[in-house]
Amino acid sequence: MPDTPTAKKPEPGRPAPGPDDSPAASAAGPGERWWRKAVLRPVVLGAIGLALLLISFAAYPRPADLPSPSFTRLAVSANFRVGFIEYGVAQVSPDTAEMKISVTLPVGAPGPAAGAPPSLLAVAPPFGIGFRDCHPAACKVQRNGIISSSTWVERLTFRPVNGAQTATAHFFVKARSFGIASNGVSTSAAIPEVLYQGLGAPFLLTLYQIPSASSYDWSASPTAVVTSTTAQWQQDVASGDTPGRVAVGINHSAQTRDDIKIFIAGALLGIAGGAIIAAVQEAMHLSDRPAPSA
């Protein structure tokens, strides 16, 4: 019948409308999605830049300053010829160091004659460092305000040791890393000052216990003997005063590692700076971007 209503068939290629389809059903419009994407870029760039900046600061090596260690002063008084003066330092505890000092006559030389004037050894550690046990008979302490100095005088008694007459004395001082300064890349060792009153020109042998001593380059202060744990220096001692000095060694492997870390930290710092600048530029141009049309 011509008046009977007929249902419209959906057009080909277009789905029939569902009950939940409406413009309000979408989570966000195109303008809101554009704003989120525009803001996300500078935020991400800024976060990456700050993260790389922190990593570069953490990677940059910061070796401690290497102070020059103060040297001990020795005085040897003898009326005969001395062959060697040996000075050795060992850290026997974190707060206590031992100085072992030996005075040796040339091989085959007789010991001091009976009734001869006594041979004396005087030891004075650096200012501000005192002996652990300072006996008043042999040890004296002088104070100048807050600075103190200590001097210990020992009478030398010679005995035959390995075919040579030798006198040995032990002194303990209250100090950490006595005579040594290290920052992982460089190590300094203090060679004592020697005041010698006697015959001949003895050799001064200075021995320190240094971890990984053989890994250091001591070419600036050549060693006589070096092992994995010790380093020894030898020098002539003239009659009178022989000034103290500081021997310096360089660990080139540690220095190379630090150079690589510095390069990496510099590269990361450059990338971090670029990311932060890009984030700032993106943020400044947010208002210049036209929003997409609906």
* Tens digits of residue pLDDT in 190-227: 999 999 998 889 999 999 999 899 999 998 889 999 99
Q: What is the DSSP annotation of 137-180?
A: TTEEEEEETTEEEEEEEEE---EEETTEEEEEEEEEEE-SSTTE
Of residues 16 and 240, the one with the higher pLDDT is 240
Whether residue 27 lies inside any domain: the answer is no
- Give strand pairing partners of 143: 148
Q: Exposed, middle or buried: residue 99 (CB in 10 Å: 0-12, 13-18, 19+)? A: buried
Q: Compute CA 280 distance to the chain's CA centroid, rounded to the nearest angstrom.
A: 39
CA distances from 278 to 42, 47, 48, 53, 57 (A): 7, 11, 11, 14, 20
pTM exceeds 0.85: no
Residue 250 three-state SS: strand
Instruction: Write out the residue range of the structural domain in which residue 155 sits.
Output: 33-294
Under a CB-based contact definition with an 8 Å cutoff, are residues 198 and 79 in contact? Answer: yes
Helix (H) / strand (E) containing 104: strand 96-104
In a domain, 213, yes or no: yes
Q: How confident is the model at residue 144 (pLDDT cuts 50, 70, 90)?
A: confident
Residue 7 belongs to a domain: no
Nearest-angstrom CA–CA distance, 140 and 124: 10
123 occurs within a structural domain: yes
Q: What is the number of structural domains in the chain?
A: 1
Q: Is residue 189 part of a domain?
A: yes
Contact by Cβ (8 Å): 268, 52: yes
Q: For residue 287, is it within any domain?
A: yes
Query: Does residue 288 lie in a domain region?
Result: yes
Q: Is the four-CA dihedral 82, 87, 92, 93 of positive or negative sign?
A: positive
Q: Which amino acid, residue 97?
A: A
**Nearest-5° Cα angle at 85, 84 to 89:** 135
Tell me how far apart the alpha carbons of residues 171 and 158 are, in angstroms, rounded to a whole number. Answer: 17
- pLDDT at position 24: 46
Is residue 274 within 8 A of residue 248, CB to CB? The reply is no
* Helix, strand counts (H, E) of the chain: 2, 16
Tokens found for residue 116:
């001869």
Closest to 85 in 3D by CA, of 188, 248, 196, 227: 196
Q: What percent of the chain has pLDDT over 90?
A: 38
- Quick check: is 290 in a domain? yes
Q: Give the H or E element holding residue 98.
A: strand 96-104
Query: What's the pLDDT band for 31 if we cut at 50, 70, 90?
Result: low
Q: Which of 107, 109, 101, 106 is nearest to 85 (CA)?
A: 101
Residue 267: predicted pLDDT: 72
Confidence (pLDDT) at 114: 73
pLDDT digits (tens, 9 = 90+) for 68-125: 788 899 999 998 889 999 999 999 999 999 999 999 998 888 877 777 788 999 999 9
pLDDT band at 25 (very low <50, low <70, confident <90, very high): very low
